[in-house]
Amino acid sequence: MPSRITAYEKKRKRNQRIGLIGSIVLLIFVMAWFGWSQVRPAAERQQTDEVFKKALQERDRKTFQELVYLNNKPLQMADSNRLMDWFLADPQRLDQAVAEITSDQKNYPHKTKKTAKQDLFALKKQAGRFWYDTYILHLNKQTLEVTSDTEGTEISIEDTPAGNLNQEKPLTIERFPGEYEVSARVEANGKTGRASKTVQLGDQKTTTIAFQLAEQVAPDQKEQYGIDIEKLLEAEVKARTGKTVEQMTDYLGRSQKEMEQTFGPPSTRVANKTTYDGFEVTYDKQEVQSLLIDLNKTPSELEAVAGKPESKAKESVGTVWKYPANFFEELLGWLNIKSEKRVIERSGKMWLELR
């Protein structure tokens, strides 16, 4: 006779089934929670490029500081804010950084290829949670090359001295990625030249800037040329005539007789002009009207010393090189009271005219 199942046993078995189902549901729930709260973040953390991008877009400083290292240490708050602002300032910059991280992680442990446009980070693998790895982004220093057209230029970055320049090679400076204010200062010829530029280190592997300060500290014309011109003109006038420029100026307005008593008879005489060895004399009514003294210089030689004239004008005496009105006064201290002084080009030679 079949055994009878009591009501109690039925109830007990039903409760066991309910308990088993509940346990299975609870286990599934725990596993789902564990996967969602523990495994999923570990898996996501392995996607370094996405973590980096999301941290920036959401301005998640905590994650950004945990991910990016400077000098082998997590970022400080000030550095974190500065870098986050820098990456977010240019969408293309952020895209390029993400692309670099993606490529570096894909090729890990190989380094970024030399042909890559950027080299912002060095990836370092760390043991992650479960079977996933994590990566830390160590910032690489970027190269800045600075040149100047003036030797001795002092370079500062963010008001901190960074070095002095010579004209043979650029000044090479290394700094971590970011925006920097680079300033240049030089003193020469009693003047101070200054300039500053804002640079973005990290957009390229090497950033170059050039400062143009020469014009700011260029010597005044008097300081640059005065002594050389005065020596040159005085020496050549003395060599041709045996007298100084001032002494020769004193002969203007004197009689032809006095002139020839001093210098003797000329080698040639044509109309109102006489020629001596090294200079010429033009008379007007038997009085000295002008003197033309050979400077023993070619146009290019004189230009190298005196600089280029403002303009040139052809006259009967030759081509007049026109310098500023104060050229002879400020440079040489020759006041055009007794005479007017002009530089003349004639027959491939340079002359000083006194008239």
Residues 279 and 350 in one domain: yes
66 domain-assigned: yes
Tell how far CA 346 is from the center of its chain. Answer: 44
Element spanning 67, H or E: helix 61-67
pLDDT score at 83: 94
Residues 89 and 134 in one domain: yes
333 domain-assigned: yes
For 288-318, the pLDDT digits (tens) are: 899 999 988 888 888 777 777 878 888 888 8
Q: Look up the CATH number of the domain holding residue 185.
A: 2.60.40.1120
In angstroms, the CA 152 to CA 148 distance is: 9
Residues 160 and 98 in one domain: no
Surface-to-core class of residue 317, CB atoms within 10 Å of its CB (0-12 exposed, 13-18 middle, 19+ buried): middle
User: What parts of the chain have a pLDDT lower than 70?
Assistant: 1-5, 8-46, 109-118, 127-132, 219-230, 324-339
For 153-168, the pLDDT digits (tens) are: 999 999 999 999 877 7
pLDDT score at 178: 94
Of the three residues 193, 211, 229, the one that is the final residue of a domain is 211
Surface-to-core class of residue 287, CB atoms within 10 Å of its CB (0-12 exposed, 13-18 middle, 19+ buried): middle
pLDDT score at 143: 93
9 domain-assigned: no
Radius of gyration, alpha carbons of the chain: 43
pLDDT score at 194: 93
31 domain-assigned: no
Residues 203 and 245 in one domain: no
pLDDT score at 223: 47
pLDDT score at 35: 44
In angstroms, the CA 105 to CA 107 distance is: 5
* DSSP structure class, residue 159: T
- For the chain, the domain total comes to 3
- The parent domain of residue 58 ranges over 43-139
Residues 84 and 156 in one domain: no
Residues 108 and 72 in one domain: yes
CA-closest candidate to residue 352, choices 293, 302, 306: 293
1 domain-assigned: no
Of the three residues 108, 139, 170, the one that is the final residue of a domain is 139
Element spanning 261, H or E: helix 256-263
pLDDT score at 122: 87
What value, to the nearest 5°, has the Cα angle with vertex 256 and ends 253 and 257? 120
Of the three residues 211, 244, 271, the one that is the final residue of a domain is 211
pLDDT score at 179: 95
Element spanning 194, H or E: strand 191-201
Residues 133 and 156 in one domain: no
